[in-house]
């Protein structure tokens, strides 16, 4: 409820002090030259509080979104160097669009307009941004606003809470049939890039990401305890996976392998300053063309490996451990590949139950 008090200043002029007090919210006060301005402020403030658009007036009116983003990039992002460059790029987009706004004027509708602009803009590749990409833009701003609320006291609450995220399309489920797999591996053996065959084979055997494989060093391979340690993964967690016999054989065939080998396992010709360099990515595209395989990406090798594991009876927990997924939702996409395994399990169980029943009779 709003109240207005009239005060006479020393020079004889009149000042109107307006106050808004709503249950569950801190009191808000402002001074105005006229009663009409005070009434309008009360109406606007009460409406903003009820709609969740009103923030701590003192700090929210002192700082712009641009200042918030600059401080977040300077103070917070250095704690997470792996994501620093990407997050800075995402936040810079918000700064260029909304950085001039005071935090008190940053509403959920303004952010929603930014979300819609992201969805309608084309990228450098002249394609519309995907919903998942737009959600990453929203997540970067949401994190910055949350820190401003929890640690800096610049906002009472984040306006991002009322902004809905665009629905993401289902993930790709492209994987190689056994025939396609054989054709691709044969094409990789014929490639001019000597690392292509072991890299593709490792992806199929371990479900590791391309970035995880090329960063492997010999110190990460424990031939005694049969483990591979991934120190740099997508989610930042350290992951250990089994070193099976087939993978061990691939490692020992690598040109960089020696008994006391050290450093990168897959050291490219470019890094060795050798001529005639052909990148792995280019060699992979050539191999796909040679094998007659279409609509396939390197990351689909990881999906292929996970699908093969699921078809051979891997549980969701086992898949999560091998793939390094934090959420079961990410692994659930492979559940339908294990239906034959489940059918076989139920068939065997059913036979045992019937057999036991007959013996009792």
| Model pLDDT for residues 249-258, shown as the tens digit of each residue | 989 888 888 8
- Looking at 53, 302, 303, 308, which residue is catalytic? 302
Helix axes 299-311, 196-206, angle to 10 degrees: 40
The reply to whether the predicted model has a pTM over 0.85 is: no
Taking the chain, what is the end-to-end CA distance rounded to the nearest angstrom? 81
Q: Is residue 169 in a domain?
A: no
Whether residues 42 and 138 fall in one domain: no
Farthest-apart Cα atoms in the chain, separation: 109
334 in active site: yes
Task: Give the end of a domain, one of 138, 162, 186.
Answer: 162
C-alpha 15/C-alpha 5 separation (Å) is 8
Count CB neighbours of 275 within 10 A. 6
Quick check: is 209 catalytic? yes
Choice among 165, 267, 297, 325 that is catalytic = 325
* Catalytic site includes residue 303: no
pLDDT at 358: 52
Residues 235 and 335 grouped into a single domain: yes
Beta strands in 231-267 (DSSP E): 239-242
* Region of 319 on the Ramachandran plot (φ > 0 left; ψ -120 to 50 alpha; else beta): alpha
State the pLDDT confidence band at 277, using cuts at 50, 70 and 90. very low
Residue 4 and residue 39 in contact, taking contact as beta carbons nearer than 8 Å: yes
CA dist 198 and 216 (Å) reads 13
Among 299, 326, 332, 336, the active-site one is: 299
What's the domain count of the chain? 3
Tell me the CB-side half-sphere exposure of residue 31, using CA atoms within 13 A. Answer: 7
In a domain, 56, yes or no: no
Name the H helices within 190-331: 196-206, 210-214, 245-252, 280-291, 299-311, 316-323, 328-331
Q: Tell me if 58 is assigned to some domain.
A: no
- Predicted local confidence at residue 319, as pLDDT: 81
pLDDT in tens, 124-162: 878 888 898 999 999 999 999 999 988 998 888 899 988
Same structural domain, 39 and 73:
no
Q: pLDDT tens across 9-34, in order?
A: 777 788 888 888 877 776 777 888 88
Tell me, yes or no, whether 188 lies in a domain. Answer: yes
Residue 221 confidence class, pLDDT cut points 50, 70, 90? very high
Q: Is residue 59 part of a domain?
A: no
Q: What is the DSSP letter of 232?
A: S
Q: Which of 21, 61, 234, 336 is catalytic?
A: 234
At residue 340, the pLDDT reads 59
Catalytic (active site) residue 302? yes
225, 84: one domain: no
Q: Per the domain annotation, does 121 fall within a domain?
A: yes
Q: Is the pLDDT of residue 274 over 50?
A: no
Are 318 and 225 part of one and the same domain?
yes
pLDDT 10s digits, 56-114: 556 788 899 999 999 999 999 998 887 889 999 999 999 999 999 999 889 999 999 99
* Bridge partners, 241 (sequence order): 228
Domain that holds residue 20: 2-50
Please state, in angstroms and rounded to a whole number, the distance separating the CA atoms of residues 328 and 135.
20
Same domain, 142 and 232: no
Candidate list 16, 137, 308, 334, residue with the active-site label: 334
| Residue 40 annotated among the catalytic residues of the structure | no
Annotated catalytic, 299? yes
> What's the pLDDT tens digit per position in 284-333?
999 999 999 998 999 899 888 888 888 887 777 888 888 888 777 777 76
Question: Does 253 fall in a domain?
Answer: yes
């Amino acid at each position: 409820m709003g109240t207005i008090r009239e005060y006479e200043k020393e020079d004889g002029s009149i000042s109107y002090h307006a106050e808004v007090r709503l249950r569950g919210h801190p009191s808000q006060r402002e001074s105005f030259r006229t009663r009409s301005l005070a009434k309008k402020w009360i109406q606007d403030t009460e409406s903003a509080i009820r709609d969740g658009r009103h923030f701590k007036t003192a700090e929210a009116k002192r700082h712009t979104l641009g200042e918030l983003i600059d401080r977040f990039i300077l103070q917070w992002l250095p704690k997470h160097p792996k994501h620093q460059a990407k997050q800075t790029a995402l936040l810079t987009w918000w700064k260029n669009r909304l950085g001039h706004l005071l935090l008190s004027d940053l509403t959920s509708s303004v952010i929603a307009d930014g979300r819609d602009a992201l969805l309608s803009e084309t990228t450098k590749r002249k394609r519309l941004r995907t919903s998942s990409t737009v959600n990453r833009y929203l997540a970067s701003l949401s994190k910055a606003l949350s820190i401003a609320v929890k640690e800096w006291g610049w906002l009472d609450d984040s306006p991002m809470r009322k902004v809905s995220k665009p629905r993401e399309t289902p993930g790709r489920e492209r994987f190689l049939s056994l025939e396609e797999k054989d054709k691709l591996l044969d094409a990789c053996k014929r490639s001019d890039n000597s690392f292509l065959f072991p890299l593709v084979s490792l992806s199929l055997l371990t479900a590791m990401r391309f970035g995880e494989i090329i960063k492997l060093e010999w110190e990460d391979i424990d031939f005694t305890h049969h483990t591979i340690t991934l120190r740099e993964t997508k989610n930042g967690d350290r992951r250990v996976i089994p070193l099976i016999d087939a993978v061990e054989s691939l490692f020992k065939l690598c040109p960089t392998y020696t008994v006391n080998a050290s450093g990168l396992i897959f050291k490219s010709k470019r890094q060795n300053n050798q001529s005639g360099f052909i990148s792995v990515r280019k060699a992979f595209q050539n191999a796909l063309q040679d094998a007659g395989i279409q609509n396939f990406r390197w990351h689909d090798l990881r999906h292929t490996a996970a699908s093969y594991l699921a078809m051979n009876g891997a549980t969701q927990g086992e898949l999560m451990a091998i793939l390094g997924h934090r959420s079961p939702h990410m692994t659930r996409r492979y559940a339908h590949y294990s239906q034959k395994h489940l059918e076989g399990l139920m068939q065997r169980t059913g036979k045992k139950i019937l057999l036991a029943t007959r013996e009792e009779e």
